[in-house]
Structure 1
Amino acid sequence: MSDIEIGRAKRARRAYAFDDIAVVPSRRTRDPHDVSVSWTIDAFTFDIPVLAAPMDSVVSPATAIAIGKLGGLGVLDLEGVWTRYEDADKVLKEICGLKAEGATKRLQEIYAEPIKPELLKSRIAEIRAAGVPVAGALSPQLTQEHYKTVIDAGVDLFVIRGTTVSAEHVSKGVEPLNLKKFIYELDVPVIVGGASTYTAALHLMRTGAAGVLVGFGGGAASTTRTSLGIHAPMATAVADVAGARRDYLDESGGRYVHVIADGGLGTSGDIVKAISVGADAVMLGSTLARAEEAPGGGWHWGSEARHPELPRGHRVEVGTVAPLEKLLFGPADTADGRVNLIGALRRSMATTGYSDLKEFQRVEVVIAPYHRG
């Protein structure tokens, strides 16, 4: 791929967001009811390729259970209000009622409350008691401090999620997490990210991760591009990481690492395009924060918004559009791609002639930038 000259001293590669591409129908079509959207990671098979992002506005123990019963996976933020406060609902109500001015400062104060090991255990136990797969997320910074409590409590999948996670973190003051050693010693599959480049993803795959998150998370609530100047156009990022998966499959003699798109997925069309360029599943934040059952009550924020030193996000109002089951499976009564996410994925796969997600990763894609008016 040729680079574009920015100036005499710098060249850059052209990258594409989901809005820049589109899938193309082939010679065959199918009945949407004949299409499979299930996916498998390690020993777990899910009916839909959806992980609910570990954000307090998206996943509570109750919504993790609800998403699990609908065939997806809810990932609980183990650094959120649910593990810091006994009465988390009261705290969430306060967050939803904050005025814009001063909201970030108050979020920092709320999340300064220490994480309580007994709440880590009880929240995980609540989800496990419902009979659905249990997943929890920690940042790389707090993984070493809390992972033993989390594993002992009985998570089925462990997620290490940050703005960007590398296999080679360098620090003069803090002993970094040795991902390869850490993952090797765990008895549960680990999903790690974000990563947005071929090289970073390949290094994460070599640590033994079962899945790699692509993107920086945060999505609609993130200001990472404004604050840090960092941004990963998601169509290119997912395709690059899928390339790393392909090469690692050869390098490892057949070990398949799942690629999970995490960010830039505001509509059903974005989910379709994420899978078309190589994702096995998607992690949804703001998209699920619009569900009636979402703990954010129509508001959405991520861990970036509460950072104690450099907040890189806002609490944003996303509204409420439908109950969770309707949001995922319809029927939709609007035409904006926010409701019946799975129905739209099925129809797109059927329209282009593919019967399962792995096949759909081979669909033809064109560059067709769409500029919203």
Structure 2
Amino acid sequence: MIIESDLKLDFKDVLIRPKRSTLQSRNDVDVNRSFTFLHTQRDWTGFPLIAANMDVTGSMGMARALSRFGAMTALHKHYKADELAAFFRAEAESATLSNVFYSMGIAEADHDKFQAVKAKAPVGKICLDVANGYTERFVEVISRLREENPDTVIMAGNVVTGDMTEALLLAGADIVKVGIGPGSVCTTRKMTGVGYPQLSAIIECADAAHGLKGQVCGDGGCTVPGDISKAYGAGADFVMLGGMLAGHDECEGEIRYEDRDGNRVPVAMTFYGMSSDTAMHKYSGGVASYRASEGKTVEIPYRGPVENTMQEIMGGVRSMMTYIGATRLKEVPKRTTFVRVGAQLNTVFGG
């Protein structure tokens, strides 16, 4: 048994200290970033935000909507092969294609399904997604995918430590997904006791990745636009969102309606973790005897089109950049100083 006593931080534990700046307006900053990926040497430019590959948020409608903002979507794993092939063919000549990840697991059936889709349509990015990225099997699958798909960008995870970030990059990943347990509908920490404070995880994994010229994607833990700013400040190249993008028209969650003044109006949407009872009953016939549910099911307010939320998110990031004098998003980590706090918000009138 080992105890690490050095401080580990989450988004709630810090604020970003402002700095003197010559910037006059939020219009003076550029929230896009450009990357050349490690193994493929392919270029990408856009707003580095990714909708999570949960079946509510990782939808084809979300992919088309976020692409208009230069942001990306990791499609969920549960579309049928023919649906995916049709989508990738339809978007082959559009900007959407460069902003979409095909999501898959590490079972042989996942590999076969990907091969079937790839045979019918172009797939430029893969999100290899498992809850526990620390297994030898996971590393082996990354190596196999890289060998078979030398020109495809691979994002793989999840992990929370620098050593495993390096291992995944060396195995063939271009982007490493960072986060164990911080998601709004994830109960992994409650059920297993395993996890890592998300801000520190991003800092440590980003440091390891950037030494190898790879990238990291902070996955989970963001509840407000300010958390996204903190993730970028900590060194995240990309930020993945689930709950913050749920509840919108472009999602595929079940909507609850109410009658108001004779009209049937949407008021809430079901949202759940992909290791929850809800997801496992939907896709696997129930919770297997050898495991426990590690997700919860909630109902969140209906929010209308995702365009409104994206404007809030991007506006928050732009404002953060003016506070610290960062003209380009790439400059944010170098200009970020975190200060530890006991509280962030004045909640006298609610959260």
Q: TM-score range by the shorter chain?
A: 0.7 to 0.9
Cα-to-partner distance string for 1:151-170 (whole Å, 9 max, x where unaligned): 33322211101212136238
What is the aligned partner in structure 2 of residue 61 from structure 1?
60
Percent sequence identity is: 25
What is the aligned partner in structure 2 of residue 191 from structure 1?
155
Segments of structure 2 that go 5 or more residues without pairing to the other structure are 256-268, 281-286
CA contact (8 A) 1:23 1:366 kept: yes
Out of 282, 297, 316, which is 1:344 matched to?
A: 316
Cα-to-partner distance string for 1:205-260 (whole Å, 9 max, x where unaligned): 11121111110377111111111111221100000101102332xxxxxxx21111
Q: CA deviation at 1:145?
A: 3.1
**Is residue 182 from structure 1 mapped to residue 155 from structure 2 by the alignment?**
no
Aligned AA (2:125): L
What is the aligned partner in structure 1 of residue 104 from structure 2?
138
* Of 21-30 and 314-323, the range deviating more from structure 2: 314-323
**Is residue 304 from structure 1 mapped to residue 304 from structure 2 by the alignment?**
no
* Of 353-362 and 121-130, the range deviating more from structure 2: 121-130
Q: CA deviation at 1:33?
A: 0.8
What is the aligned partner in structure 1 of residue 327 from structure 2?
355
Q: CA deviation at 1:74?
A: 1.5
1:142-161 equivalences under 5 Å are 142-152=109-119, 153-161=121-129
Distance 1:50 1:319, change over 3 A: same
What is the aligned partner in structure 2 of residue 21 from structure 1?
14
Out of 5, 26, 32, which is 1:38 matched to?
A: 32
Segments of structure 1 that go 5 or more residues without pairing to the other structure are 1-7, 84-116, 171-175, 249-255, 330-339
CA contact (8 A) 1:167 1:200 kept: no
SS in 2 for 1:45: strand
* Distance (Å, rounded) in 1 between the aligned partners of 2:205 and 2:110: 24
Cα-to-partner distance string for 1:285-321 (whole Å, 9 max, x where unaligned): 1100032332224221232123432321122112223
* Distance (Å, rounded) in 2 between the aligned partners of 1:145 and 1:220: 32
Taking structure 2 as the reference length, what is the TM-score of the superposition?
0.81
1:1-373 equivalences under 5 Å are 10-30=3-23, 31-41=25-35, 42=37, 43-78=42-77, 80=78, 82-83=79-80, 117-128=81-92, 131-133=95-97, 134-141=100-107, 142-152=109-119, 153-166=121-134, 168-169=136-137, 177-186=140-149, 187-216=151-180, 219-248=183-212, 256-296=213-253, 297=255, 298-305=269-276, 306-307=279-280, 308-309=287-288, 310-329=292-311, 340-362=312-334, 363-370=336-343
* Distance (Å, rounded) in 2 between the aligned partners of 1:288 and 1:64: 12
SS in 2 for 1:221: coil
RMSD: 2.3
CA contact (8 A) 1:52 1:73 kept: yes
Q: CA deviation at 1:11?
A: 4.5
Cα-to-partner distance string for 1:305-342 (whole Å, 9 max, x where unaligned): 2343232112211222342111111xxxxxxxxxx011
Taking structure 1 as the reference length, what is the TM-score of the superposition?
0.76
CA contact (8 A) 1:56 1:302 kept: no
Q: CA deviation at 1:119?
A: 3.2
Q: CA deviation at 1:29?
A: 4.5
* Distance (Å, rounded) in 2 between the aligned partners of 1:161 and 1:265: 19
* Distance (Å, rounded) in 2 between the aligned partners of 1:209 and 1:345: 27
Cα-to-partner distance string for 1:142-189 (whole Å, 9 max, x where unaligned): 54332312333322211101212136238xxxxx84322321321211
Aligned AA (1:327): T
